[in-house]
Amino acid sequence: MTGIDDLPIRDELRGKSPYGAPQLDVPVRLNTNENPYPLPEALVARIAERVAEAARGLNRYPDRDAVELRTGLAGYLSSTAGHPVELANVWAANGSNEIIQQLLQTFGGPGRTAIGFEPSYSMHALIARGTGTGWISGPRRDDFTIDVAAATAEIARLRPHVIFICSPNNPTGTAVDAATVLALYEAAQTAREREGGALVVIDEAYGEFSHQPSLLPLIADRPLLVLTRTMSKAFGAAGLRLGYLAADPAVVDAVQLVRLPYHLSAVTQATALAALEHTDTLLGYVEQLKAQRDRLVTELRAMGCAVTDSDANFVQFGFPSTHPGAAGESGDTPPADQQAIWQAILDHGVLVRDNGVPGWLRVSVGTPAENDAFLDAVRAVLKENKR
């Protein structure tokens, strides 16, 4: 039987695995950072109305420039993220992953490199490889924050064409402050000054969940700074696949050089517009999730688990034995690695995510009942490992 490695695929794709989280049939699934709240019935009804209207014109191509949608997204960002943007500053695509792909097709590609500070969102590296862009894994401190001095030194030495800054960062949940972004942006422009500079991408997919304000205002007067967002998380619309960016109008013009014709369907545009009409309701769910996120952090630490400060809709945690000196450590000896802990929690009916960060797991914030089940599972596993 022919295997993938028998095919004449590109060398940089050999031995790699596709992105994905295993889905198992268990009572509580908290492994994919989804919003656990179904869309409200009023929004479902409005989606049906808008899609029905769009369906009457499906014999025609959709608005290839998505003007109404981009205008709506610009209004949303202007009212919630602390900086006014207009239609010309916003571009939309099928999930923030397509936005990232378009940026790398435009500013990366063969003979060019991109850097990200890992552990971070693994699709940055995967999309880089898929576009023929060389990938550089940049440094983080042990507490998962970005070491500015080390990062700027790497940028100066390697002179990447694209820099990714994920804030809040996935899978750690840590946010990046404005001073760090500005330092990396200046370093990137200095490193590639003779070539016109380097693109810096702030991936703010979880921005609405952060304790900190959006980094959107930083794009002002910085033509190579881009902020990306998604409707998958805060808007509870993971099945919609709608992502967008805010940047200088020249960047918006540039990515259109690589966009596929009519890449956003009429149905996608109609559904996203309906969701924007219900922003206040959906952001109310975000506030509930933020409170539950903070509760998980507090209760896990009270049990003796190590927990990374989280600004997202998930929490990175580890058991005491994998993190000596963690606050509240009990001195007991739980499983020695995160895979064993993952399996033990799964045995109690709760699926969390093993991202491959040694000693750490990630749990998505669910409903209060789902979070209760997760915390009960952790307590049970801790108790079992005291025996």
Whether the per-residue pLDDT at 336 is higher than 70: the answer is no
What is 4-39+281-384's CATH number?
3.90.1150.10
Residue 245: phi and psi, rounded to 5, are: -130, 160
> How much is the average pLDDT of 170-178?
97
Whether the per-residue pLDDT at 382 is higher than 70: the answer is yes
> How much is the average pLDDT of 142-171?
97
Answer whether 198's CB lies under 8 Å from 224's CB.
yes
The label of the residue with tokens 């709608």 reads 242
Whether the per-residue pLDDT at 330 is higher than 50: the answer is no
**Residue 278 to residue 271: CA distance in whole angstroms:** 11
Mean pLDDT of the chain: 94
> How much is the average pLDDT of 17-27?
81
> How much is the average pLDDT of 176-184?
98
**Residue spans in the chain of domains classed CATH 3.40.640.10:** 44-278
**Residue spans in the chain of domains classed CATH 3.90.1150.10:** 4-39+281-384
Whether the per-residue pLDDT at 331 is higher than 80: the answer is no
Whether the per-residue pLDDT at 335 is higher than 80: the answer is no
Helix or strand or coil: residue 350? strand
**Residue 307 to residue 316: CA distance in whole angstroms:** 6
Whether the per-residue pLDDT at 329 is higher than 50: the answer is no
pTM over 0.85: yes
pLDDT at 321: 58
Whether the per-residue pLDDT at 387 is higher than 90: the answer is no
Answer whether 99's CB lies under 8 Å from 244's CB.
yes
pLDDT digits (tens, 9 = 90+) for 89-134: 999 999 999 999 999 999 999 999 999 999 999 999 999 999 999 9
Least confident of 44-48, 274-278, 302-306, 323-327: 323-327
**What pLDDT band is residue 379 in, cutting at 50, 70 and 90?**
very high
pLDDT at 230: 98
pLDDT at 334: 36
pLDDT at 337: 81
SS3 content of the chain, % helix, strand, coil (to 5): 45, 15, 45
171: preceding bond cis by omega (within 30 degrees): yes
In 3D space, the residue among 379, 382, 334 whose CA is nearest the CA of residue 359 turns out to be: 334
Class of domain 44-278: alpha beta
Whether the per-residue pLDDT at 139 is higher than 80: the answer is yes
pLDDT at 50: 98
pLDDT at 328: 35
- Taking residue 327's Cβ as centre, other Cβ atoms within 10 Å add up to 12
